[in-house]
Structure 1
Amino acid sequence: MKNEMLTVAEAAERITSGAVMAIAGAEELLAGLPRGRWIGGTSVYFVTETGGAVVRDRLFCTTFPEATDATARHVDVAGLPGLASGYHPHGFTMIMIPAFSTAHSDFAVHGQEYDGLFNQPLLGWITGVHLEDVGKCAPMVFDGATGIGYDEGAVLLHVALPAEASIDLDILNIFAQGDAEEHRFVFSDNGFSTKTATVGGTPVDLAKYIAEKGIDTRLPLVANYAGALVNVSIQSIDAETGEVKFYAPIVAGVEYRLAGALGSYAEAFAKGTDGAGEGQYSCNCILNYLYGDLEGKKTGKFTGPVTFGEIAYILLNQTMVRMDIGTAA
């Protein structure tokens, strides 16, 4: 595969040549692309060859010359459980979902129950906007087959590969669950926000509890799903209303533990990337970008969009997802 920052004209030329592509960029740029075998999502944050940056005048384009066929499509929320029906016999599927949409929540809570979801590698990300525009304009996804943009549902790119191709899908999560009993939380409702939680069987005002305990909100809440650690990151706390907002929906009845302290966030993340990433697809959480101080800095040789959530079969948060395509031994 090939990762590049391209102008709209350059990306359009690549699309019209028949290339299979995943594209990220500002809404107005994506809206100007021709129809073809591609999907796109909004982001203005990227990790490029020269480091992390806000880019509004170019598109981050990943081209898959290995593809033997590809199908781009949009599914609404009701169609999400059937997303695996479009899988090609041998290949992978990319998915993009707008942040804070109904689809975002549905996929987070019910995605692992979708029939056939795990039958082939599924990866992608939650689209976003500049942090100053959160709540002001909607994150978008684009179906390249029609050129239409959506603020709800999901876009899928089902990619077929040669039989000899191998796919390596991996997650970088620098966090583990902490051990403190006072930092274990259970919630009564699903959703992107809450005012209350239960700690040790006692209901608490979550905003006040976080303040009183001096909890570092750069650390995510981490749930353990049969050995798979899934982060839910805190977006903001409104001291007046007591509302705590998250970048991914919390799930009722699941125990979340505050992640253990890292020491230096930037050093932990840099160590995790360890110089790798050339020729691979990756997407990296906006919180890694912020807390890992990635502006102007590289993450090994990984390049890609900075996202409001990552997908490797299931929804993730405060992680980096990467995929490599090779040849089976």
Structure 2
Amino acid sequence: MPNNQILTLRETTALIEQGDLLLIAGNQDLLDQLPAGQWLGGTIPYFMSGEGAKKDLNRLFVSNLTQVAASASIKSYSTQEFEELLADRPKNGFSYIALPVFSEVHKAYAVEINQYETLYDSPILGWITGKDLDASEQDDQFPAVYHGPTATCLANKAVLMHIELPETQYAEIEIYNPYEQANGDSIQFLEDDFSAGEVLINNEKQNFAHYCRAKKIKGQLPVVANYSGALINIDIERIDEDRVHFYGPVSRDQVYHWAKDIHYSPQAFLKAMPKEEAITAFNCISIYSNFQLEGEQIGNYGGPFTFGEIAYILLNQTLVLLHIQNK
């Protein structure tokens, strides 16, 4: 993976200063020290690389796209600028997006972006930023994205790197889901939201949090909907007294089922994962923890473990790969 490496702050700074085009993930105190340049950044200290899956608070994960791009631009967008965000995508290339977890722009993108008819006109992929899961509540760090050209930390904007490819090439997004849909209870949500109270279980109204506790569901398995053949996971963040909270929005237009039980181990995840190289990749932090991937070599690709994955729409517990193909 020559273009995907875990680097020191000094090594990363040197690449920025020589004008390289970079995607950078890492702990906030490191990202805050980077100079302005051609980079997009996001807070998360969990990486998959040639060193294996690991948390690293002292170094940065860097994907170098300098040799890939014919040209590139990096811009930030608010929740009112999704139409512009989509229009700015290159005609032949791809756009890489980063959004802070549970920010208004994250929630708005997740709920609204599928309403735009142009969404699938050009590849868009990226991830939701987070922070160290072991950090104390008193820690002053927060999920953020970085607009590299101004070295600005943003808590409620999307940052995109729009990359134009040579005319002889095109971008292709590939997704891998380790889960299958079970045939048990059907779950229908009554609103499009990141949490749920009352739901329909097998067409009967129940409180979803009460149902989960009665079923002894602790949140490892996602709920899964079939979107015209594509299985889309929604990951549970936490179960409160009367509401269940998710890492992505549930849809009232879909019927969900729990994922099939799975034996959580590195082997259970790795056996179905691709072996080919990718330009860059990202994976879900829940997969990292649930499948016990610490120290494991994931594949011939690298990237961060994230708090949500974007392959056009928001995904959960999914591995996403970016390939550049010749026409």
Q: Which residue of 2 aligns with 1:28?
A: 29
RMSD: 1.9
Runs of 5+ in structure 2 lacking a partner? none
Q: Deviations over 1:168-225 (max 9, x none)?
A: 3100101122111xx2211222322223321122221222211222346311111222
SS at match of 1:103: helix
User: Could you tell me how far 1:6 is from its partner in structure 2?
Assistant: 1.3
Q: Which residue of 2 aligns with 1:152?
A: 156
Matched residues, number: 323
Describe the shift of the 1:69–1:134 C-alpha distance in structure 2 as closer, same or farther (beyond 3 A): farther
What pairs up with 1:270-285 in 2 under 5 angstroms? 270-274=270-274, 276-285=275-284
2:181 partner letter:
Q
Distance 2:21 2:51 in 1: 25
SS at match of 1:14: helix
TM-score, normalised relative to structure 2:
0.93
Q: Is the 2:284–2:305 contact (alpha carbons within 8 Å) kept by the matching residues of 1?
A: yes
Distance 1:114 1:134 in 2: 39
Describe the shift of the 1:91–1:33 C-alpha distance in structure 2 as closer, same or farther (beyond 3 A): same
What pairs up with 1:261-276 in 2 under 5 angstroms? 261-274=261-274, 276=275
Q: Is the 2:4–2:49 contact (alpha carbons within 8 Å) kept by the matching residues of 1?
A: no
Q: Is the 2:278–2:322 contact (alpha carbons within 8 Å) kept by the matching residues of 1?
A: no
What pairs up with 1:31-42 in 2 under 5 angstroms? 31-42=32-43
Describe the shift of the 1:109–1:150 C-alpha distance in structure 2 as closer, same or farther (beyond 3 A): same
Describe the shift of the 1:89–1:320 C-alpha distance in structure 2 as closer, same or farther (beyond 3 A): same
Q: Which residue of 2 aligns with 1:231?
A: 233
- Aligned partner (choices 141, 149, 152) of residue 145 of structure 2: 141
What pairs up with 1:36-185 in 2 under 5 angstroms? 36-64=37-65, 65-133=67-135, 137-180=141-184, 183-185=185-187
Runs of 5+ in structure 1 lacking a partner? none
TM-score, normalised relative to structure 1:
0.92
Q: Is the 2:187–2:256 contact (alpha carbons within 8 Å) kept by the matching residues of 1?
A: yes
Q: Is the 1:42–1:140 contact (alpha carbons within 8 Å) kept by the matching residues of 2?
A: yes
Describe the shift of the 1:134–1:77 C-alpha distance in structure 2 as closer, same or farther (beyond 3 A): farther
SS at match of 1:217: coil
Q: Is the 2:178–2:269 contact (alpha carbons within 8 Å) kept by the matching residues of 1?
A: yes
SS at match of 2:162: strand
Q: Deviations over 1:79-111 (max 9, x none)?
A: 123212212232111001111111111111121
SS at match of 1:78: coil
Determine what percentage of the aligned residue pairs are the same residue.
35
Distance 1:159 1:284 in 2: 21
Q: Which residue of 2 aligns with 1:195?
A: 197
Q: Is the 2:264–2:290 contact (alpha carbons within 8 Å) kept by the matching residues of 1?
A: no
User: Could you tell me how far 1:135 is from its partner in structure 2?
Assistant: 6.9
Distance 1:130 1:277 in 2: 29
Distance 1:6 1:292 in 2: 26
Q: Is the 2:189–2:199 contact (alpha carbons within 8 Å) kept by the matching residues of 1?
A: yes
